[in-house]
Structure 1
Amino acid sequence: MFFKNLTLFRFSPSVANDLSRLDDVLPEHRLRACGPLEMFTRGFVPPVGSGDGEPLTHTVKQCTLLTVGGQEKMLPAAVVNDELQRKVQKIAEEEGRKVGGRERKRLKDDVVTELLPRAFVRNSRMSGYVDREKGWVVLDTASRKAAENALTQVREALGSFPAVPLAPEEGVRVLLTDWLANGVLPAGLTLGDECELRDPASATGAVSISRRQDLDAEEVKEHLRNGKQAFRLGLTFDDRISFVLGEDLVVRKVKFLDVVVNELGDNPSDAHAEMQAGLALLSLELGRLLGKLEEWFGLPRPADA
């Protein structure tokens, strides 16, 4: 139930009102199996269970959990190219001519069409939740592309969902570098044991990645004195959550520490009750962290038009 990465978006209060329709519209956009000639499909799947009768959302107070599923055909380029080469060679041997570029493209399309029905299918799932009161979308991924794909599914279901990427008013990299260089962090925040330092003046400059490292070490300070800045920084919040925060404000490697996990207690025998308890704890802990991110970096909620 605990998320491992957080890609974040925000939405206005009026958008929050429209989210009350999720239970009504998501069933029309359930994940369906890939057709014989389809490369992929996406749709909503139950956060718990897999039956058609399982609910597609779980709501605790102001937070609603949903899961986007996907099916993707696995058709390696090497397999396609080998089959294409076989066809090209056969034409050369039987007809004594070379295959031109236009014909080669048509043959490749034919190969893909022939192989797709026999391709293996890879299933995927991504969970996320919307906080209607605070205006957050929280997706369990570090991939911006995957997050946008999930939002596209919500937009298609609702007709519109103007959630926007974070627009910090404070320089994220500047603050991360200052915290690392001076060791003066906001209350409740402590340095972890990981950072990524780069020279911002050069796209091809040296990169220093430290893991399981004392970030007060002289080695780290020397990189900072030489002009490198913190592009990612390991942090711990209130001794309850550790994570790596990037200059893109993607929260990676999220780990809920023992004090949080222990609060979940014994797992209920009912999977839905377990999900409700997990979502309640998840949204509570992340809600506190997101509130602080909003405060530290200036992440205002979009206003209604």
Structure 2
Amino acid sequence: MFFRNLTLFRFSPAVAEDLNRLDEALAEHRLRPCGPLEMGTKGFVPPVGRGEEAALTHAVKACTLVTVGSEDKLLPAAVVNDELQRKVQKIAEEEGRKVGGRERKRIKEDLLTELLPRAFVRSSRLSTYVDKRHGWLVLDTSSRKSAENALTQIREALGSFPAVPLAPEEGPRVLMTDWLATGNLPGGLTLGDECELRDPATATGAIARCRRQELDSEEVKEHLRNGKQVFQLGLVFDDRMSFVLGEDLVVRKLKFLDVVMDEMGDSHQDAAAEMDASFALLTLELERLLGKLEEWFGLPRPADG
């Protein structure tokens, strides 16, 4: 269950206290199957196990894992429009008249009623956890839209959840550009093998993407001398995890290295024990990384008040 991407929000100590009722609050927002005439449903699903009796949270120390789920009907607009056109054409041929806008709308609504019960259903899951001790909300996605949707679901369940986006005191783009240009990285941090450089002067400026390449090469330095800045940078932290850090401070392509995976072992008795071990290891590793991100970029935790 190791996360592959990290989109981060922060919350205050007072908000952390309110999260003690998370398990109770989620119970009233459990994901239910799509009804015949519904386009989709959203809710929470058990991180471990299945069924109505399975818990909707999984906690290890101060961290609580939550899984946001959705079911969406797959009914492409092109399919509906093609069927609508056939019906409109049939009316024109059989009755010798044009179909007006109001009638087309009614026919389309009837089509949706007819087609929705037969549409395929796509399920999706997004894992997230709250670290109540340090005030982090961590979502396993690089999509801002998906993260905001999941955050909205948690807010609806709790009634209020004032988690806020990161507000760095140090400009990530400037700081990462300096790391790459000088090779002077914080302790424990080394360059990976990919980056994305852009000319920040214009929205349509040149973009240079490097993958599987030595980032201290002359070619990369030439881009920096020409005024490009770092928008994404591959990094390795303490030889335990690699990732690509964006100027939006979203962590992408997160990968735990062999030394971490070896600590997991493979002697777990059941799925619950395996989940417990992997979640504990995940949160322990990320606690160290997030603490360093807070230090490097100045990411203050919101204060109560």
Query: TM exceeds 0.5?
Result: yes
Give the partner amino acid of 1:275: M
Q: CA deviation at 1:248?
A: 0.8
**Residue 166 of structure 1 corresponds to which residue in structure 2?**
166
* Aligned residue number for residue 287 of structure 1: 287
Shift of 1:25: 1.6
Partner of 2:260: 260
Matches within 5 A, 1:17-32: 17-32=17-32
- CA distance 1:267–1:110, change in 2 (3 Å): farther
Secondary structure at 2:73 match in 1: strand
Amino acid at match of 1:87: K
The corresponding residue for 1:199 is: 199
Residue 101 of structure 1 and its aligned partner are, at CA, apart by 3.8
Q: 1:175 to 1:103 in 2, by over 3 A?
A: farther
Match in the other structure for 2:57? 57
Mark the CA change 1:102 to 1:205 in structure 2 (over 3 Å): closer, same or farther: farther
Give TM-score scaled by structure 2 length.
Answer: 0.97
Q: Deviation per CA, 1:148-207, whole angstroms, max 9, x where unpaired?
A: 111111111111111111111111111111111111101110000011111111111221
Task: Give the equivalent residue in structure 2 for 1:124.
Answer: 124
How far apart, CA to CA, are the structure 2 residues paired with 1:225 and 1:108? 58
1:65 aligned counterpart, secondary structure = strand
Q: Retained in 1: the 8 A contact 2:48–2:58?
A: no
Q: State the SS of the aligned residue for 1:185.
A: coil
Q: Which amino acid aligns with 1:223?
A: H
Q: What is the one-letter code of the residue matched to 1:11? A: F
Amino acid at match of 1:200: P
2: CA distance, partners of 1:6 / 1:267: 28
Q: CA deviation at 1:209?
A: 1.1
* CA–CA distance in structure 1, aligned partners of residues 195 and 268 of structure 2: 38
* Counterpart amino acid of residue 220 in structure 1: V
Matched with 2:300 is 300
Aligned length: 305
1:264 to partner: Cα distance:
0.9
Distance change in 2, residues 1:203/1:103 (3 Å) = farther
Q: Determine the C-alpha separation between the residues in 1 that align with 2:106 and 2:267.
A: 56
Q: Which residue of 2 aligns with 1:96?
A: 96
In 1, Cα distance between equivalents of 2:120 and 2:46: 23
Q: Distance in 1 between matches of 2:281 and 2:267?
A: 13
Distance 1:267 1:108, change over 3 A: farther
Give secondary structure in 2 for the equivalent of 1:301: coil
Distance 1:40 1:267, change over 3 A: farther
Instruction: Report the equivalent of 1:112.
Output: 112
Alignment partner, residue 81 of structure 1: 81
Q: Provide the C-alpha distance between the structure 1 equivalents of 2:267 and 2:113, rounded to a whole number of angstroms.
A: 47
The gaps in structure 2 that reach 5 residues or longer are none
Would the alpha carbon gap of residues 105 and 177 (structure 1) be closer, same or farther in structure 2, given more than 3 Å must change? farther
Aligned counterpart, 1:211: 211
Letter matched to residue 14 of structure 1? A
Alpha-carbon spacing, 1:107–1:207, altered in 2? closer, same or farther (3 Å)? farther
Tell me the distance in 1 between the aligned counterparts of 2:208 and 2:113: 46
**1:274 — aligned with what?**
274
CA RMSD of aligned residues (A): 1.2
CA distance in 1, matches of 2:160, 2:147: 16
Distance 1:228 1:99, change over 3 A: farther
1:190-240 Cα shifts (integer Å, max 9, x gaps)? 000011111111111221111111111121111111111111000000000
User: Structure 1 counterpart of 2:175, which letter?
Assistant: L
Number of the residue aligned with 2:228: 228
| Residues 71 and 121, structure 2, Cα contact 8 Å, conserved in 1 | yes
- Find the aligned partners of 1:165 and 1:102 in 2 and give their Cα distance: 44
Q: Is the partner of 1:36 in helix, strand or coil?
A: coil
- C-alpha displacement at 1:102, in angstroms? 4.2
Please list the CA deviations of residues 55-85 of structure 1 after superposition, one character each: whole Å capped at 9, or x if unmatched: 1111111100111111010111221111111
